[in-house]
């Protein structure tokens, strides 16, 4: 089983739609969780950290379910500019915080 699993997609959604991505992780001792966005042939950029209480940033909402070991990202009112690959990232409990990336989920928002 992979340490971090994501559906690679692609998810093709119309503008204005709501789309949700899930990610599961295998290490129950994982301590930190993130969503990164990566545009084609560019570096990953931090979209948001994910907290146990859930967190929201504008149209983006992230949730963490420790019991089931999954993380979700919800994007409301999708924009064309949201088209990208969304990477789920999980950090371990070690002092140096090694992180593991998922394969990424590709989102294509269509007009």
Partner 1 sequence: DAGVTQSPTHLIKTRGQQVTLRCSPKSGHDTVSWYQQALGQGPQFIFQYYEEEERQRGNFPDRFSGHQFPNYSSELNVNALLLGDSALYLCASRNLEGATYNEQFFGPGTRLTVL
* C-alpha span between 26 and 6 (Å, rounded): 12
Of 19, 1, 3, the residue nearest 11 (C-alpha): 19
Query: Which of 46, 54, 77, 110 lies at the binding interface for partner 1 (CB under 8 A)?
Result: 46
Q: Does 42 bind partner 1 (CB under 8 A)?
A: yes
Q: Does 98 bind partner 1 (CB under 8 A)?
A: yes
Token pair of 100 as six digits: 């593991």
Token pair of 47 as six digits: 């979209």
* C-alpha span between 51 and 4 (Å, rounded): 17
Shortest spacing between CB 66 and partner 1, in angstroms: 16
Using the minimum distance from each CB to partner 1, give the nearer residue, 17 or 92: 92
Residue 101 neighbours by CB under 8 Å, 6+ apart: 4, 36, 44, 87, 88, 89
Q: Does 71 bind partner 1 (CB under 8 A)?
A: no
Query: Which of 28, 43, 67, 111 lies at the binding interface for partner 1 (CB under 8 A)?
Result: 43
Q: Does 68 bind partner 1 (CB under 8 A)?
A: no
Using the minimum distance from each CB to partner 1, give the nearer residue, 30 or 78: 30
């Amino acid at each position: 089983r992979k340490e971090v699993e994501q559906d690679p997609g692609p998810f093709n959604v119309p503008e204005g739609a709501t789309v949700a991505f899930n990610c599961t992780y295998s290490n129950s001792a994982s301590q930190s969780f993130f969503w990164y966005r990566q545009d084609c042939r560019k570096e990953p950029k931090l979209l948001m950290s994910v907290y146990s209480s859930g967190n929201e940033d504008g149209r983006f909402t992230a949730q963490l379910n420790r019991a089931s070991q999954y993380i979700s990202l919800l994007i409301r009112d999708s924009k064309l500019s949201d088209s990208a690959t969304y990477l789920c990232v999980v950090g371990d409990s070690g002092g140096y915080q090694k992180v593991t990336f998922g394969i990424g989920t590709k989102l294509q928002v269509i007009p």
